[in-house]
Amino acid sequence: MTQKQRVEQTQLSEEAGCGCKEKHADTMEKARQEMPAVEELYDLSELFKVFGDTTRIRILWALSEGEMCVCDLAELLEMGQSAVSHQLRLLRQARLVRCRREGKSSVYALDDDHVRKIFELGMSHIEELR
């Protein structure tokens, strides 16, 4: 960023009137340098949207205990198999769960340890707020 651009940015900030007496230029510059591409942030936003449904959260919670087939998940969640299958499809598309065939059944599990960590961090944050 050129000196002229910095001056213009400072003037815009002052005009916005946030009332901040201290400029956070170092933090702003670091954020500017480190910010991922918009496409990556979009993908992250889409991932977090998948966590925005209670049924999917319940499925992830159940699968954090181990592998299960659709009929077991449906019974546990007291839901129809087609509704559970629909949610599992969304979780698979987001690469949060994986599926393997076992005879005529499909057995689901968390895709990897990252999913468990995301889930655990979210729960830790919720418990901290209580």
Distance in angstroms (rounded) separating the CA atoms of residues 65 and 77: 14
With beta carbons less than 8 A apart as the criterion, state whether 23 and 13 touch.
Answer: yes
Which CATH code is given to the segment(s) 44-129?
Answer: 1.10.10.10
Structure tokens at 40: 């990556």
Q: Is 10 helix (H, G, I), strand (E, B) or coil?
A: helix
Structure tokens at 104: 């005529």
Q: Is 107 helix (H, G, I), strand (E, B) or coil?
A: strand
pLDDT in tens, 6-20: 656 666 655 556 777
Distance in angstroms (rounded) separating the CA atoms of residues 122 and 36: 22
Where do the structural domains in the chain lie, given as residue ranges? 3-35, 44-129
Phi-psi region of 105 (alpha: psi -120 to 50; beta: other; left: phi over 0): beta
Q: What's the whole-model pTM score?
A: 0.76
Give the pLDDT band (50/70/90) at residue 86. very high
pLDDT in tens, 25-74: 899 999 999 999 999 999 999 999 999 999 999 999 999 999 999 999 99
Output the CA angle 73-51-126, nearest 5 degrees: 100
Enclosing H/E stretch for 98:
strand 97-102
Work out the number of other CB atoms within 10 angstroms of the CB of residue 18: 8
pLDDT: which is higher, 81 or 6: 81
pLDDT of res. 129:
81
Distance in angstroms (rounded) separating the CA atoms of residues 119 and 59: 12
